[in-house]
A and B are shown apart, each in its own frame.
Chain A
Amino acid sequence: MIVQPVPPLLGGILVLAAGTYLFRVAGPLLGPRLRLGVRARHLVDVAPVVLLTALVATAALLEGGSAAGAARPIGVVVAGALAWRRAPFVVVVIAAATVTAALRRLGVP
């Protein structure tokens, strides 16, 4: 039997996919067996809030490791203010994109 070599890029994508899936599936498969205490369960529950907030901060303020221009941060701050005042989700998201796009059209970086 002749085994065709896997093209490198295909192999890379499959390794990334397998590794990513292992990260994802570890919690749902092992979680029920871990028998976490109340304190550990609390930390596990707060962890996504911390991670998502860090994603918001870096995605809003940074671009490739340095400060982003002003348009996107302002758009996200406007969205955050609207969300804090319990504006509907649709309004919040459209406001972020519209404010950022409008500022860029006005020449704000």
Chain B
Amino acid sequence: MRSLFRTLGPSLLRDIVLVCLADAVVGMSYGAITTSAGFHPWVPVLASLVVFAGASQFLVTGIVAAGGSLPAAVAAGLLVNARHLPFGLAMGDVLGRGAVRRLAGSHLLIDESVAFALAQAHPRRRRAAFWTCGVSLFACWNLAVCAGALAGRAVHDTAALGLDAAFPAVLLALVLPALRTAAKARAAAVGAVIALVSTPLLPAGLPVLLSLAGLLMAGRPHPPAAPEGATP
């Protein structure tokens, strides 16, 4: 544990703590909103433990609370979470070797832990950032949802705190270093435009998946360590 923290260093730890605090407030509001919509407290608490994907949790309880059918709500939630498949493909090595690490680490694949891992240059730091962010967010998110579900309407208005801007800002700050590479920036820009334009037309989740069409602009791999004149 101590070596994990040494690998991360104080500034990265501080960054992860900040994201945990911001997500904890959102988690409390998820618990409070869900129970005040008429659900028993076990609903948000169980969903947070076993699904552990905030956007899909809000979506599913929102659809059911609005009178939508449960199969439609579950299908919508699955569509929103389908992006974890490409995340998992890219993060396989970051989780570590061995079945236990891969099986347990998979449950911690969320936008924030993937983004924190991506922002690190070295494999050791990637792994440390992924696990630290994943485990601490899992703990904070679930404790906060519990607290919100039991306390009722604790922090109801996250908009007044500007927390809806914190989530995109967290991800933006973490992907920005990658976007300084021209090919990645082109692919990401095309993908973002596709997602924005298709959002009014398609069910939630699909536009973000469609952004992968931006990979057509991803260019060719250039091995950074290859000596001059080497052909890939």
**Which positions in A face B, CB cutoff 8 Å?**
8-10, 12-17, 19-21, 23-29, 31-32, 34, 38-39, 41-62, 65-66, 71-72, 75-76, 79-80, 83-84, 88-90, 92-102, 104-105
Contact of A90 with B18 in the complex, beta carbons under 8 Å: yes
Q: How far is the CA of A95 from the CA of B111 in the complex (A)?
A: 20
Contact of B165 with A51 in the complex, beta carbons under 8 Å: no
> Quick one: closest A residue to B42, CB to CB?
A10
Interchain residue pairs A-B with the least CB separation, the first 4? A27-B88, A96-B169, A100-B162, A31-B92
Contact of B165 with A72 in the complex, beta carbons under 8 Å: yes
Q: How far is the CA of A42 from the CA of B88 in the complex (A)?
A: 15
6 A-B pairs (CB sep. < 8 Å) = A28-B95, A44-B86, A54-B194, A57-B168, A97-B169, A104-B160
Contact of B211 with A51 in the complex, beta carbons under 8 Å: yes
Contact of A55 with B171 in the complex, beta carbons under 8 Å: yes
> Quick one: closest B residue to A15, CB to CB?
B74
Contact of B107 with A24 in the complex, beta carbons under 8 Å: yes
Query: Would you call B137 an interface residue if the criterion is a C-beta within 8 Å of the partner chain's C-beta atoms?
Result: no
Q: Mark B187-222, 1 if CB is under 8 A from A, else 0.
A: 111011111100110001001110110110010110
Contact of B92 with A27 in the complex, beta carbons under 8 Å: yes
Q: How far is the CA of A4 from the CA of B178 in the complex (A)?
A: 51
Contacts of A59 in B (CB 8 A): 164, 167-168, 171
Query: Would you call B173 an interface residue if the criterion is a C-beta within 8 Å of the partner chain's C-beta atoms?
Result: yes
Contact of B111 with A52 in the complex, beta carbons under 8 Å: yes
Q: How many A-B residue pairs have CB under 8 A?
A: 278
Contact of B184 with A49 in the complex, beta carbons under 8 Å: yes
B interface, size bucket: 35 or more
Q: How far is the CA of A9 from the CA of B60 in the complex (A)?
A: 10
List residues 53-85 of chain B with CB under 8 A from any CB of chain A: 53, 56, 60, 64, 70-71, 73-74, 77-78, 81-85
Q: Looking at the complex, which one of A13, A53, A98, A100 makes contact with B179 (CB distance below 8 Å)? A: A53
How far apart are B203's CB and chain A's nearest CB, in angstroms? 9
List residues 6-20 of chain B with CB under 8 A from any CB of chain A: 11, 14-15, 18-19
Q: How far is the CA of A76 from the CA of B164 in the complex (A)?
A: 10
Contacts of A10 in B (CB 8 A): 46
Contact of A48 with B86 in the complex, beta carbons under 8 Å: yes
